[in-house]
Amino acid sequence: MSERKFRYVGTRPIRHDGMDKVTGRANFGADFTLAGLLVGKVLRSPHAHARIRSIDTSRAAALPGVHAVATSADLPEQEHGPGVDMHDLTRNILAREKVLYDGHAVAAVAAISDRIASEALALIDVDYEVLPPVLSVDEAIRPDAVLLDESLRCEGPDPKPAGPTNVAARLQIGRGDVAKGFAEADEIVEREFTTQAVHQGYIEPHAVAARTGADGQSVVWCCTQGHFAVRSYSARLLGLDVSQIKVIPSEIGGGFGGKTTVYLEPLAILLSRKAGRPVKMVMTRAEVFRASGPAGGTRIRLKVGVTRAGRITAADATLLYEAGAFKGSAVMAGVMCMFAPYDVANVRLEGFDILVNKPKGAAYRAPGAPMAAFASETVLDELARRIGMDPIELRLRNAVREGSQAVYGPKLKAVGFVECLEAARNHPHYKAPLGPNQGRGVAAGFWFNGNLQSSAQVSLNEDGTATVVSGCPDIGGSRTSLAIMAAEELGIPVERVRPVVADTETVGYNDVTGGSRVTFATGTAVIEAARDVVRQLRERAAALWGIDVAHVKWEDGRALSQNGVTQEPLGIADITRKAAQTGGPILGRSSWMAKGNGPSFAVHIGDVELDPETGRVVVKRYTAVQDAGRAIHPSYVEGQLQGGVAQGVGWALNEAYLYDAQGHMQNAGFLDYRMPVASDLPMIDTVIVEVPNPHHPYGVRGVGETPIVPPLATVANALHDASGVRMCDLPMSPPAVLEALESRR
C-alpha cells in the first residue's frame, strides 16, 4: 500500500453524538414514551430445569387493566436450521416443553401499569414437574447425566457421544504429528483450567417499545447492536413479513455482543399486536443477569512442549464450553484462536459444545477467545520460565507473520504480531522496577475480526455539508470514525459531515455491530459512497465548466480544472447550489459483503500487587499494545483497548456467575456480581501499532474485541511472578488466592 498522507484520519475530533450524551438528551432504549403506552412484563421460571405440564393464564387475562397475555402457544413452531436456530430461539424467548434455566421466560403480559402487570404475572398458574439441574460441563458429560433435550444428538467428527446427550457438538482442528512433536520437546507443561460464566455487564438493561397499527405494521424502538437482526428474527418468530416491522435503533448503552440477539423485542411486538396498543418492556438488572446471554464457563486441558531454544513443538488441548440451555457456545472460536498467534507444526485441538441449565450464552467480546488464551498464555509463561527465556522472546520465536499458515487455516496476509511484541519489549513499563509483593505478567491475544454485510449513503446538502447514513448502531464512537473517512474523501472538515445511524427503512441492509467490523466494513462502504459522490462532483464541475470530466481533479474539497484553461476552483457548496441545473441532488451509495477484515493481535503487560494477608490482588500498572492497522480516531481506539482491559481484569479477578445446588443464580445484581470500579484500576496505557490491513482503503483493522483476550493470563502470570502461585481457576478472588497461598505453605 502506498503511504497516503491523511488530513483527517488520525485526528481526534469531538464525536458528533457527544453533545447529546453529556447533556442527557440522547435517547436510549428505555427513554421512549408513547400515548397509551402499556407496561409489558415477563413471568420467569423459578426453576433451573422443569417440564411445563400446563400454563393457565385465564386469571391474569381477567384482571382489570390487563390488555394482553402471551405464551409460547402464540408463536408458530419453528424448525431447526443453520445459522441462528429458530427452533431454539423461539424456545428461548418463551419456554415451550421445558424451562431450562432460572429466569427462563414463560409468559408475558401487557397492562396499564407496572403494578397491575406485576399482579397479572402472579395470577399465571404454571404447573411444573421439577427436574434435577445440570450445572457444569463435568455433570453434563457424565454417561448418566440428566438430559436437557432428549432429542439432541452430538454433531461433528468421531469420537463423540452416541445417542441422547448434552453434548451438542464435537469439533477438532489440527495438523502435524502431536506425538512426534512432544518427543522433540525439552520441556512439557500440562495443566487444566476453569473459568466461570461472566456477563457483558452493559449498564443499560434491554429495553423496547413496540406499536402496531390496525394495518398490522409494527414499529419498534429498541437498544440493539443490530436493528436489522431484530427485524429479521422478530418477523420469523412471529410469522410476519419482514416489511411488516420497522425497527428504529435507540442509542445503545453498551452491548459487547450481548445485544446481537432478541429477548424482549418479539414479545413487545406480539403484545402490541394482541393489545392494539403500544407496549414498553424494560428488563430489571436481575433479569439481565438471569435471562440474557452471558459467556459460559469453561474447562480446558492443555499440554504444550517446547525446545530449550524456545521452539513450540506441539500443542494438544481439549476445550469444554458451556453453551447454556441451547447449543451454540463459542467453543469453535476458542479452538481456532488458541494458537492463532503461533506458528506451531504439531497441533491437536478439540472442543465440545455442552448444554447446561444456565442461560443460553450470547456473544461476549471476542467470544470464546479469552478463556482459550487464559490457558495457552499461562502455559507459555510457565514454559518460558522452565527454559529460562524471556516470555516475550519465547513468543517472538514462534510468532506468526505475513505468509504464516495459521493453525486455524488461512495463510496470513500482513499482520502486526511481531511489531506488537517488539513494541511491548521496548516499552519502559517492561523494564520498570517492581515493589514488594508485586509481579509482572505478559500475555498475547488474537481475534479474527468480522466482515458481514454493510451499506451506506453519503448525500450532499445545499450548503456543502454532507450527511453519512449508515445502519450499524454506534456503541463506541464508530459514527465519528465513519464521518472522518467521509471527510477524508470529500476533503471537508469532519464537523461539516453529519453521521446518522438510520432505521431499517431508511438505509440498505446492515448486519450487526459486532465482530469489530463497523469501522472496517461499514467504513469501507462509506469510503466507496464518498468516492461515488466525488465522481459525481467532478462530473457536475465538468458540466458547469463545459469541459471533459477527465480534466477535473478533486483535491482538498475542491474541483480543479486540469485542461490548461484557468477556472476558479469549485467547492462542494458551489456545486450543490447549482445541483438543480446539473442533474439534481448528489447522493453516493455503496453496499458490499465485506471481505478481508484483517486479524488483530495484542500484547499486554500487567503489574499486580498481592496482599498476602487477604489474598487480594490489585492491578498497579497496565500497558496494552495492539495493532489497529490504521487508527481512524485514536482516542476511540485507545478507549477500546482500555475498556477491553477493564473487562478482562474483572473476569480475571472478580466476576463469576454463582449458583446454588438447585441452579438459582445467587448474585444477580451489581453489588454481588462485582465489576471493576474506578478505584479498582490504574490508568491503562496504550500503544497503537499500525500495520495496515491490505484489504481496507486506509488499512483499518477491527480493534474492539482483541483487548479482552490477553488480560486473564496477563493478570495470572503477574500474580505468579508476585507470589510463585500458579492460578488456573478463575476468578482469582481473594479467598481463592488465599487458599492457593496456604496450600503452598
Partner 1 sequence: MAKLHVTTEINGESAEFLCEPHQTLLSALRDDLQLTGVKEGCSTGDCGACSVILDGRLVCSCLVLAAEVDGASLLTVEGLARGGRLHPLQQKFLEHAALQCGVCTPGILVAAKALLDRNPDPSEEQARYALAGNLCRCTGYDKIIRAVLDAAAELRGAAR
Residue ranges binding partner 1 (CB under 8 A): 12, 14-15, 17-19, 21-28, 30-31, 33, 200-205, 251-256, 282, 284-285, 475-477, 633, 635-636, 638-639, 642-647, 669-671, 675-681, 683-684
CB 256 within 8 A of CB 184: no
To partner 1, the closest distance from the beta carbon of 682 in angstroms equals 9
**Shortest Å distance, C-beta 282 to partner 1:** 8
CA dihedral 390, 391, 397, 403 (to 10 degrees): -150
Q: How far is the CB of 20 from partner 1 (least distance, A)?
A: 8
Query: Could you give the CA distance from residue 177 to residue 184 in angstroms, rounded to a whole number?
Result: 11
For the sheet containing 466-470, what is the strand order?
Answer: 497-501, 466-470, 453-460, 587-593
Nearer CB in complex with partner 1: 255/692: 255
Q: For residue 485, what is the enclosing H or E element?
A: helix 478-490
Q: Given strand 600-611, what is the order of strands in its sheet?
A: 438-447, 600-611, 616-627, 684-689
Q: Residue 58: CB partners within 8 Å, gap ≥ 6?
A: none
Eight-class DSSP state of 24: T
CB of 482 to partner 1, least distance (A): 15
Mutual orientation of helices 391-398 and 417-425 as an angle, nearest 10°? 160
User: Closer CB to partner 1, residue 15 or residue 67?
Assistant: 15
Element (H, E) at 381: helix 369-386
Q: How far is the CB of 670 from partner 1 (least distance, A)?
A: 4
- Tell me the closest approach of the beta carbon of residue 161 to partner 1, in angstroms: 38
Q: CB nearer to partner 1: give 25 or 744.
A: 25
Q: Which residues of 282-317 are buried (b: 16+ CB within 10 A; e: fewer)?
A: bbeeebbbbbbbbbbbbbbebbbbbeeebbbbbbbb
Nearer to partner 1, 27 or 562 (CB): 27
366-375 in b/e burial notation, b at 16+ Cβ within 10 A? bbbbbbbbbb
**Minimum CB–partner distance for residue 625 and partner 1 (Å):** 15
Closest approach, Cβ 118 to partner 1, in A, equals: 12
Answer yes or no: are the C-beta atoms of 348 and 316 closer than 8 Å: yes
DSSP alpha helices (H): ranges in 256-316?
Answer: 265-275, 285-291
The answer to whether the bond into 731 is cis (omega within 30° of 0) is yes
701, HSE (Cβ side, Cα atoms, 13 Å)? 28
Name the minimum Å distance from CB 255 to partner 1.
Answer: 8
Q: Whole-angstrom Cα distance, residue 238 to residue 96?
A: 15
- Cα angle, residue 192 at apex, residues 188 and 193 outer, rounded to 5°: 130
Q: How far is the CB of 325 from partner 1 (least distance, A)?
A: 24
Rounded least distance, CB 319 to partner 1, Å: 26
| Residue 517: CB minimum distance to partner 1, A | 17
Whichever of 326 and 636 has its CB closer to partner 1, that residue is: 636
Q: Is 164 helix (H, G, I), strand (E, B) or coil?
A: strand
Q: What is the largest CA-CA distance in the chain?
A: 89
Closer Cβ to partner 1, 261 or 640, answer by number:
640
Task: Decide whether 128 or 202 has the Cβ nearer to partner 1.
Answer: 202
Q: Which is nearer to partner 1, 162 or 683 (CB)?
A: 683
Pick between residue 214 and residue 671 the one whose CB is nearest to partner 1: 671
Q: Are 66 and 241 in contact (CB under 8 A)?
A: no
CB atoms within 10 A of CB 463: 10
Residue 571: strand pairing partners: 558
Interatomic CA distance for residues 659 and 572, integer angstroms: 62
CB of 80 to partner 1, least distance (A): 34
Question: Is the Cβ of residue 487 or residue 728 nearer to partner 1 in the bound state?
Answer: 487
Looking at the Cβ atoms of 664 and 674, the one nearer to partner 1 is 674
Q: Which is nearer to partner 1, 245 or 485 (CB)?
A: 485
CB-wise, 149 or 474, nearer to partner 1?
474
- Is residue 683 exposed (0-12), middle (13-18) or buried (19+ Cβ within 10 Å)? exposed
CB nearer to partner 1: give 250 or 438: 250
Q: Which amino acid is at 693?
A: N
* Beta carbon of residue 449, minimum distance to partner 1 (angstroms, whole number): 18
**What Å distances lie between residue 115 and 30, 38, 118, 207, 417, CA to CA?**
18, 11, 5, 18, 56
